[in-house]
Amino acid sequence: MSVHVKICGVTRVEDARAVWAAGADALGLNFYPRSPRFVQPEVAAALARTRPALGAVVGVFVNESPDVIRARVRDCGLTAVQLHGDEPPEACAGFGVPVIKALRVRGPEDVERARQYMGVGDVATLLLDGAAPGYGGGGVTFDWSLVAQLVDVGVPVLVAGGLTPGNVAQAVRATRPYGVDVASGVETSPGIKDLEAVRTFIRSAKTVNLWERHT
Ligand SMILES: O=C(O)c1ccccc1NCC(=O)[C@H](O)[C@H](O)COP(=O)(O)O
């Protein structure tokens, strides 16, 4: 069994095609207007049309209105939404697709906060991110030992924040997550993916054999 990989903040159709070809399981499209990875809805729809049959297209939102999120799901062909802002548990439902709730991890108190989202609304997955300034895409890691308290308690966990081709295998071995997610660690500049780095990242992540037990 290998880990799932989501490549976040893709902005160009040619990059999207290459990301799928490299073996990604999910593509993240950023709808936060202040992100350097923001895509207009028409561009997002074109990116989503590159989706292979088994791939997921995740719309990333920060404190966005539910009506706008529903419109983007409908018009851009999103298969999941990622709520990456300060959304409370009760805001994580009603979009017609599964929700990934992202939380920035500073310490054990954030693990407790994450528990409040488990089994609530349409939260199908938690994404644990580093606590860089801003909301996401900051290239900052967190204490991976905290993930152990959330893995295997019912909701799949994605580990994010500061992952690179050089450290992702270590992150997978340390946390044994459902998946990993990366934005800045595989870019030449924000929103422009370094396709060789994407390939190395996916190969490094997926080569870790999660069937093997810890000793
Ligand atoms: O990437 C952004 O610009 C961004 C902005 C605001 C909210 C979320 C954002 N990205 C979401 C992601 O899922 C990133 O992959 C995640 O934060 C990790 O980023 P990085 O540390 O750069 O790999």
Would you name the residues annotated as active-site residues? 8, 129
Within a domain: residue 94?
yes
pLDDT for position 215: 47
Locate all alpha helices (DSSP H) within the chain, ordered by sequence.
Answer: 13-21, 41-48, 66-76, 108-115, 168-175, 195-207
Note whether residue 155 is domain-resident: yes
Average of per-residue pLDDT across 141-149: 92
What's at 14, amino acid-wise?
A: E
In whole angstroms, give the CA distance from residue 160 to residue 183: 9
Ligand 1: which of 19, 129, 168, 198 to mutate, judged by most atoms within 8 Å of the beta carbon?
129
- In this structure, is residue 215 part of a structural domain? no
Query: What is the Å distance from ligand 1's center to 43 Cα?
Result: 18
Task: Report pLDDT digits (tens) over 68-122.
Answer: 999 999 999 999 999 999 999 999 999 999 999 999 999 989 988 898 998 888 9
**pTM exceeds 0.90 for this model:** yes
Residue nearest to ligand 1 atom 1, measured at CA: 137
CATH number of the domain where residue 86 is located: 3.20.20.70
Domain that holds residue 72: 4-207
C-alpha closest to that of 126 among 154, 86, 167, 164: 154
Confirm whether 214 is domain-assigned.
no
| Count of domains forming the chain | 1
With CA atoms as reference, report the closest residue to 82 among 72, 49, 45. 72
Question: Measured in angstroms, how far is the CA atom of residue 75 from the centroid of ligand 1?
Answer: 23
**Domain membership flag for residue 98:** yes
Atom of ligand 1 nearest to the CA of 141: 21
